[in-house]
A and B are shown apart, each in its own frame.
Chain A
Amino acid sequence: SQKIEQNSEALNIQEGKTATLTCNYTNYSPAYLQWYRQDPGRGPVFLLLIRENEKEKRKERLKVTFDTTLKQSLFHITASQPADSATYLCALEDYGQNFVFGPGTRLSVLP
């Protein structure tokens, strides 16, 4: 069956450290994978997209990797700040089908 999973429901880290979030999928063939941020009571906000033929993508303090062999994407936030505290969702589009979202990881950056 098709599944998209994120490594943990919640992650606590100290301010200044690097947060690493994991997204794994099974029985999908995504053309690209996306990461979104969601704050409580609000809609998700797009952060980064990485295509299947890209190994790594960066945007400011954010970095995403994509390994289609492992069927895994890693999302890194370097020099994390309390303002980075939110739920992070990975999402993929399975060639021509609808978007599928992971369950999310709730990140808390502690001062």
Chain B
Amino acid sequence: KAGVTQTPRYLIKTRGQQVTLSCSPISGHRSVSWYQQTPGQGLQFLFEYFSETQRNKGNFPGRFSGRQFSNSRSEMNVSTLELGDSALYLCASSYSPRDPRVSDTQYFGPGTRLTVL
């Protein structure tokens, strides 16, 4: 079974620009979560999509948005980029029944390294 794929792997942008990152989950997984990872803040949850609907959202400004398509593929968009947005952006997929009686595991992609100059 193919793993989670993310494109592009590396990206360099300048302040004020916008960026779109893409994530293809493992086949059969309906949940896609996005995380931002920086040395100072660790792994921070951005949002989760399940069946094309945003199910959870972290504490990030509205410049960060996402969507999920009917095939479960997801995109994340960051508008008006700031220097502080430089980070590794990770996508994780899971089956995600959100039933505490059923354990769930997240499978991460390799990430997109975004550098904002």
Contacts and interface: CB of A to CB of B under 8 A. Distances in A.
Contacts of A95: 100
Given A96-B98, A98-B48, A42 B110 contact: yes
Interface in A65-107: 89, 91, 93, 95-104
B35 to A, nearest CB: 8
A32 to B, nearest CB: 5
Interface size of A as a range: 20 to 34
B104 A93 contact: yes
Name which of B33, B42, B110 has the most chain A CB atoms within 10 A of its CB.
B42
B9 to A, nearest CB: 10
B109 interface: yes
A111 interface: no
Interface of A: 31-32, 34, 41-46, 49, 51, 89, 91, 93, 95-104
Closest 8 CB pairs of A and B: A43-B108, A31-B100, A101-B43, A98-B56, A103-B42, A46-B105, A98-B45, A44-B108
17 contacts: A41-B88, A42-B110, A42-B111, A43-B4, A43-B90, A43-B108, A44-B106, A46-B105, A49-B103, A93-B100, A95-B100, A96-B98, A96-B100, A97-B56, A98-B48, A98-B58, A99-B106
Given A42-B111, A43-B4, A98-B56, 19 more contacts: A31-B101, A32-B100, A34-B105, A41-B113, A43-B92, A43-B110, A45-B108, A46-B106, A46-B107, A51-B103, A91-B106, A93-B100, A93-B104, A98-B58, A99-B33, A99-B45, A100-B45, A101-B43, A102-B42
